Structure 1
Amino acid sequence: MAVPNTQLADWLSRTGWSNGALARQVRTKAAELKHPHVTPDTSSVRRWLEGQAPRPPVPEILADLFSAHFSFRVTTYDLGFETESAADRALVYNRSFAATVEAVADLGRSDVDRRKFLAGSTFAAAAGAGPAFDWLLGTMDQDPQPDRRVRLEDVSAVKNMFGAFQQMDIFQGGGSGRLALAAYMNEHVYPLLRRSYDEDVHQALAEAAAEQTYLLGWMAYDNGEHGTAQRYLIQSLRLAQESKNPALGAHVLAGMADQATLLGKPDEGLRLAQAGRQGLSRTPESAACLADLWALEGRALAKLEDKAAARHAVAESERAFARVAPGNEDEPEWARFIDPAYLNGEHAHTFQDIGDSAQAETYARLSIDHARAQRRARRGAMSQAALAVSHLQRRDLEAAHAAGVRTLNLTRQVQSSRAVEAVQNIKRQLTPFGRHPLVADFNERARDLLAA
């Protein structure tokens, strides 16, 4: 039995329109938009109020009608329509900034409410290619958007929150605090995008929103929610273009490349990383971001079994990072995590994938030392896992077991599906060693963690 749509009823009552008046306006608007098959009547409106969901494009037409009446944006979500259009819309890199604002706002609200259509959304294998191309075009030709007025102080308050949430992700994992960040964005950041501001504030606000929308995507990615993550990253890329900050857009493409490679699409990961480097060449570059893009290009190339190119990418990553000031002090805040603990860990996995266990061990140990000094459990866990696998590649089961146990202990300290997947990978790599007591011990230690 359908549940009455009280949200639609509330908005309709606030207009003073009758059911018939709303039906007539929908018909008129549909005709303007060349949807001749959309011909609702009074009975149609009654069924919508009783809980029947109208077929597209009716929800969007209704949202436009209510928005025009109230002189502010009313979304399909506000009207109580839980269709898949919000999740699908977040996969689109829209040239309209207003449409981007609505897409990311709908996505954030759906994320906090854990709507089934979003929680169950999947990673779309080729969805990043179009946005990457559109972003590159956008960095070459960006017309200023006339808009309204918000204070720079509002933007500063948003940017000040970014560091706190990024630290939460780095030290506690993407599963810790992501919904709190989503709620903060819904209540304090996305509403600002609908208000008025001058052009300088417009760019600064778009940049701040892009940074935090990226962080939402990264946290979802780390928590294994890849469909949600992809949608946040695509919308972050569009916001980054609006901010006219190519380095930030390149950073978002790095995240998209990382995700694509992790999900078994290294060819797309390679294209996204290369698009990021190309975009970065049009700006006073962030050396840390360039180092990250080269590192992720190396990860993709290793998966594609291009060993020489993967080694070259690692060398270029190290060359770029050599230009970074100590402590990343000259880098934007979003680039602060790109440091020796992170980069050496990525390089360890690259060499592991091309079968160079000695180099993999060297880089893994460098990453582990830096991660331990910073108390970064997630990065430490992933690098300990790389160390364990490098030992297994050389048939050193005892050393691998010790590194595997350290991986388990660190993984228990964070909420990160990537760290858990690293444990699962060790378990898989131990399979050829059969029923050896050390294998049985590791599997027993890992049982509770993997079950959870």
Structure 2
Amino acid sequence: MARTRTRNELLAAVIREIGWSQEQTAAHFRVVATESGAIELTSVTRSNISQWILGSQPQPKAASILRETLSRGLRRGLTLAEIGLEDAGQAEPDWSSDTTSTLLELGDIEMDIGRRTALATSAYSVAALGLPISAWWDTAAERAEQRRSRTNSTVTAADVDSVREMSAFFSQREQKRGGADGRTALVAYLRNEVAAHLNRHAISEPVRRGLYSAAGEMAYLCGWTAFDTREHHIAQHWFTLGVRLAAEADDPALAGHILRAMAHQAADLGHGHQAVNLATASIERKRYTSAGPRERALIGVVHARALAADGQRREALAALRRAEDDLSAADPDPGAEPSRVFFFGEASLASQTAHTLTALGDLKGAAEQFTRSVNTRRTKAFARTHSVTLGYLGSVQARQGHLDAAIGTWGSALDAMAGIHSGRAKETVIQMRRSLSPYRNRGNRAATDLDTRARTLLSSVA
């Protein structure tokens, strides 16, 4: 006897509450699928939505993307149960679980190709961007201090220094070669070496806090490299863990640094309101005031970018001015502030300023700032960053109608991408080809040649 499907009334009710048709639901679903890298789901149509409403169960990946799509439509988080679907176990980042256990679990997922692929292709979750209440932040370090060690061995200040040295190495590598280069080794070191330290007894409370801070910075770096490879859901989990470890270390500046990265990610993905919430959190509770001038400038300019993405022009321009003042006050000695901000200087400030101006519609100002960034950056040490910035500059020049200038800039970007393994670099090449598409068959030899180079390079940049 054929199995009778039960109509999914919960799913139908949620779609009605949003006010979407099935065709509109499918269109929004495809946007989230594209954002998540789930290429096989970008062909979902009204027919698929209809089948799911009639009771057909989507595959776990499709269910996750559908849940996120509808959460965005309602502007609040939904569980799979609330839309009448089976929970496939894709938990959102958790602020309350044991940090060491979470680190081990995330590390294990990354090292298991099947589980990693499932997490990497899950949708970036706007619903997961909510932050804990004040009481959680107030007691995080005390809770961690009271946590019992799981072995009899001890952790010393030398161990903490070793972790920080490794973070500095991997951070410099990411700036030069891209997030995909060496990422497996980074995660393995955190999962094995650093997790073992966290299970040991620290010889003093300052050492324990230093260890948790160093671990939080490395978790952030795992998130940042995942962000650079466009694995946004994985990045979310690592960023959340990094913030939790920073709170347990009572290191507000580090927490602000990571919240700034989360705001950057949200702005990149087009979630301006959520970006503002995260960027605002990055400057609250001593996170901004306890940081050095260079780090304050970094946190501040991303705050400006988030405000611009949310349409808050006056506030964004004021935040830009504060960031410029902060960087002007920074000590030129790289050792004066934590190594995590070694990359941030005039070139980086100019690049983020350009993104802010682009969001505000000031293409002339954006082009000037991207040019300033290109001209002031040390290209050998920051090859990945330099190549991506050239891509952004070319895009702005094309939008201004300066095609010849854009083609020249994009050619330089492709030259700079040799040896780069970065999802963001790949995305700039994809956008480059989209901008060139109207000129491919219209006799523009320079555009056609550049497009051919771009197509060839796409197989090697990520």
TM-score scaled by structure 2?
A: 0.73
CA positional deviation for 1:155: 1.8
- Counterpart of 2:174 in structure 1 is 169
Q: SS at the partner of 1:126? A: helix
Q: 1:234 to 1:141 in 2, by over 3 A?
A: closer
- Counterpart of 1:109 in structure 2 is 108
Q: How does 1:30-69 map to 2 (within 5 A)?
A: none
CA distance in 2, matches of 1:277, 1:329: 23
CA distance in 1, matches of 2:327, 2:279: 16
| Residue type of the alignment partner of 2:130 | A
CA positional deviation for 1:84: 6.3
CA positional deviation for 1:195: 1.9
- Counterpart of 2:256 in structure 1 is 250
Percent identity among equivalent residues? 30
**Worse-superposed segment, 224-233 or 431-440:** 431-440
Q: Which of the residues 329, 332, 335 maps onto 1:329?
A: 335
2:379 and 2:386 in contact (8 A); partners too:
no
CA distance in 2, matches of 1:115, 1:288: 40
- Counterpart of 1:143 in structure 2 is 142
CA distance in 2, matches of 1:256, 1:108: 20
Q: 1:439 to 1:373 in 2, by over 3 A?
A: closer
Structure 2: which 5+ residue stretches go unaligned? 1-86
- Counterpart of 1:445 in structure 2 is 453
Q: How does 1:77-226 map to 2 (within 5 A)?
A: 85=89, 88=91, 91-94=93-96, 99-116=98-115, 117-131=118-132, 133=133, 137-139=136-138, 142-143=141-142, 145-146=145-146, 147-148=148-149, 149-197=154-202, 198-226=204-232
How many residues get paired? Answer: 363
Q: SS at the partner of 2:95? A: coil
TM-superposition CA deviations, 1:40-84 (whole Å, max 9, x none):
xxxxxxxxxxxxxxxxxxxxxxxxxxxxxxxxxxxxxxxxxxx96
CA distance in 1, matches of 2:431, 2:235: 22
| Residue type of the alignment partner of 1:88 | A
Q: 1:167 to 1:310 in 2, by over 3 A?
A: same
CA positional deviation for 1:126: 2.6
**Worse-superposed segment, 291-300 or 236-245:** 291-300
TM-superposition CA deviations, 1:299-345 (whole Å, max 9, x none):
22333333333322222211121111114431111121222222211
CA distance in 2, matches of 1:340, 1:433: 35
- Counterpart of 1:294 in structure 2 is 300
Q: SS at the partner of 1:326? A: coil
Q: SS at the partner of 2:283? A: helix
CA positional deviation for 1:269: 1.0
- Counterpart of 1:65 in structure 2 is none
| Residue type of the alignment partner of 1:233 | F
**Worse-superposed segment, 231-240 or 273-282:** 273-282
- Counterpart of 2:265 in structure 1 is 259
| Residue type of the alignment partner of 1:111 | E
CA positional deviation for 1:426: 2.6
CA positional deviation for 1:282: 7.0
CA positional deviation for 1:142: 4.5
TM-superposition CA deviations, 1:230-254 (whole Å, max 9, x none):
1000001000001111000000101
CA distance in 1, matches of 2:173, 2:287: 31
CA distance in 2, matches of 1:358, 1:249: 34
TM-score scaled by structure 1?
A: 0.75
Q: 1:152 to 1:283 in 2, by over 3 A?
A: same
**Worse-superposed segment, 149-158 or 137-146:** 137-146
CA distance in 2, matches of 1:282, 1:351: 23
CA positional deviation for 1:114: 2.6
Q: 1:282 to 1:254 in 2, by over 3 A?
A: closer
Q: SS at the partner of 2:295? A: helix
**Worse-superposed segment, 232-241 or 275-284:** 275-284
CA distance in 2, matches of 1:306, 1:425: 26
**Is residue 411 from structure 1 mapped to residue 413 from structure 2 by the alignment?**
no
Give the superposed CA RMSD.
2.3
Q: SS at the partner of 2:458? A: helix
Q: SS at the partner of 2:336? A: coil
Q: SS at the partner of 2:142? A: coil
CA distance in 2, matches of 1:357, 1:140: 46
Q: 1:374 to 1:315 in 2, by over 3 A?
A: farther
CA distance in 2, matches of 1:330, 1:218: 23
CA positional deviation for 1:359: 1.4
Q: 1:372 to 1:155 in 2, by over 3 A?
A: closer
TM-superposition CA deviations, 1:259-306 (whole Å, max 9, x none):
111112121111101110113357533222221222212222333333
Q: 1:393 to 1:120 in 2, by over 3 A?
A: closer
- Counterpart of 1:35 in structure 2 is none
1:111 and 1:182 in contact (8 A); partners too:
yes
**Is residue 227 from structure 1 mapped to residue 228 from structure 2 by the alignment?**
no
Q: 1:187 to 1:165 in 2, by over 3 A?
A: same
2:252 and 2:290 in contact (8 A); partners too:
no
